[in-house]
Amino acid sequence: MINEKNTALRCMQKDCNDPAEFVFTWPGREPSTACEEHAKKAQRVAEAMGFHLALTRIEQVTFPF
């Protein structure tokens, strides 16, 4: 996915530079992007803690400028 600055979005997890494929939000935190591997890991952690983590797959976005 390309952001409004015409650069590829990357996974925001530490030491990961893979392309972002999902957006998710931990309770009380700002939304974050994640590659498929880190999104699955976050979901497993959330399930172990007893709550559902909503993951949204990033689709191609076109900005109007």
C-beta atoms surrounding 54 within 10 Å:
10
Q: Mapping DSSP to helix (H, G, I), strand (E, B) and coil, where does residue 60 land? A: coil
> Which band of pLDDT confidence, cut at 50, 70 and 90, is reported for residue 50?
very high
The mean pLDDT of 8-32, rounded to a whole number, is 88
Cβ-in-10-Å burial (0-12, 13-18, 19+) of 65 comes to exposed
> Which band of pLDDT confidence, cut at 50, 70 and 90, is reported for residue 22?
very high
pTM given for the model: 0.74
**pLDDT at residue number 2:** 44
Q: Mean pLDDT across the chain, nearest whole number? A: 82
> Which band of pLDDT confidence, cut at 50, 70 and 90, is reported for residue 52?
confident
Residue 22 identity (one-letter amino acid): F
